[in-house]
Amino acid sequence: MTNATQDTGFDTSSWITLRWTRGTRYYRIHLEQDLWSSWVLTSVNGRSGTPLGRARCQPASTIEAALLNLAHIAKRRRQRGYELIR
């Protein structure tokens, strides 16, 4: 365990942020822990240059379940023609 993990209970080395774009559309996903060390997938999508968009949080029981859901989301983004930025 790192010092950050021992001090806070968070495993920040496992947090992931990915971003896809297609034209003016964007989709961003964050895998992180909440204040109670539970895993949460937060997805943000919208259109560049406008205030339109939304954010949704989806709790996950384990990091493995969250990673499976993240893989499913990544597959959908590829199928819909989005380009992975990072």
Residue 8 pLDDT exceeds 60: no
DSSP assigned state of 63? H
Tokens 């992931």, residue located: 16
> Over the stretch 51-73, which tens digit does the pLDDT of each residue have?
889 999 999 999 999 999 999 99
Burial class (CB in 10 A: 0-12, 13-18, 19+), 66: buried
| CB 84 within 8 Å of CB 19 | yes
Handedness of CA 54, 59, 60, 62 (dihedral sign): positive
Q: What is the largest CA-CA distance in the chain?
A: 43
Q: Whole-model pTM?
A: 0.77
Residue 5, pLDDT score:
47
Which domains are present in the chain? 15-84 (3.10.450.700)
> Over the stretch 32-52, which tens digit does the pLDDT of each residue have?
998 888 899 999 999 998 988
